[in-house]
A = this chain, B = another copy of it.
Amino acid sequence: MTNRLEQALGHRYSDQSLLLTALTHRSHSWPHNERLEFLGDSILNGVIARQLFDCFPDLPEGDLSRLRANLVRQESLHQLALSLSLGEFLRLGDGELKSGGRQRPSILADALEALFGAIWLDAGFDAASAVIVRLYAEKLATIVPGQPIKDAKTRLQEALQGRRLPLPKYSLASTEGEAHAQQFSISCQIDALNIRTQGSGGSRRAAEQMAAERALEDIQHA
């Protein structure tokens, strides 16, 4: 039954128990996929880093980092998981099943990472790399270097709008240092979610982005 998934992934697991574990949520049974997810997350980061490095020889490190963050975040993994119909193959506990676990973005994204980690164990780094590169080919092909990537403030705004919540409030918490080397602290406040984060940086904009990034983390962990 998992044949279809292996076909979609483009990898046949020699050790089928690895595949089974990668599909097993912690609510179902042990061994579950959390350790494999840890491994898969790390190889995904490495493979995407290398792809971006090779494809965009002129981009500075900061842009590569932002592009990668964009490609490996939950939302992107969730889209790929949907394209593989991964939800059908998940092994979930009853509670998770009833509450719609098969559709939950975090569960799907984690399981996809676990599948990558399982390929690394099953057939080596290059095999896992090939699968990741194939899955990401379309996303990688549509990257236009220089095109602005959605920054944290934009993504936070979209995340709140998606929940029909008001926009976050940014305010200056403090400034420090002499005029030519000031450090700004900005706080980002989302009253509806009782979230308040703070970011710092050499400009208001940089500080706001850090605060927004942290607010996004808080929303994801909430």
What residue of chain B has the Cβ atom nearest to residue A43's Cβ?
Answer: B46
Contacts of A195 in B (CB 8 A): 185, 200
Q: Chain B nearest CB: distance from A202 CB in Å? A: 9
Q: Quick one: copies of this chain in the complex? A: 2
Contact of A42 among B38, B50, B60 (CB under 8 A): B50
Given A38-B61, A185-B196; 15 other pairs, CB 8 A cutoff: A35-B59, A35-B60, A35-B61, A35-B64, A38-B53, A38-B64, A39-B50, A39-B53, A43-B46, A45-B46, A46-B46, A53-B117, A125-B129, A174-B194, A200-B221
Whether the Cβ atoms of B35 and A53 lie closer than 8 Å is yes
Partner-B contacts on A (CB < 8 A): 34-35, 37-39, 41-43, 45-46, 48-50, 53, 59-61, 64-65, 117, 120, 125-126, 129, 173-174, 176, 183, 185, 194-198, 200-201, 214, 218, 221-222
Contacts of A45 in B (CB 8 A): 42, 45-46
Q: Chain B nearest CB: distance from A139 CB in Å? A: 17
Contact of A200 among B38, B39, B42, B218 (CB under 8 A): B218
User: What secondary structure prevails in chain A residues at the interface with B?
Assistant: helix
Contacts of A198 in B (CB 8 A): 196-198, 214
What residue of chain B has the Cβ atom nearest to residue A59's Cβ?
Answer: B35
A and B contact pairs by CB, cutoff 8 A, 14 listed: A34-B60, A37-B61, A38-B53, A39-B50, A42-B50, A43-B46, A43-B49, A45-B46, A46-B46, A174-B194, A183-B222, A198-B198, A200-B222, A201-B221
Contacts of A218 in B (CB 8 A): 200
Contact of A49 among B42, B185, B201 (CB under 8 A): B42
Once the chains are docked, how many angstroms separate the CA of A37 from the CA of B218?
28
What residue of chain B has the Cβ atom nearest to residue A121's Cβ?
Answer: B53
Once the chains are docked, how many angstroms separate the CA of A222 from the CA of B38?
30
What residue of chain B has the Cβ atom nearest to residue A222's Cβ?
Answer: B183
The answer to whether residues A49 and B53 also contact, given A34-B60, A221-B200, A221-B201 and a CB cut-off of 8 A, is no
What residue of chain B has the Cβ atom nearest to residue A54's Cβ?
Answer: B121
Contacts of A59 in B (CB 8 A): 35
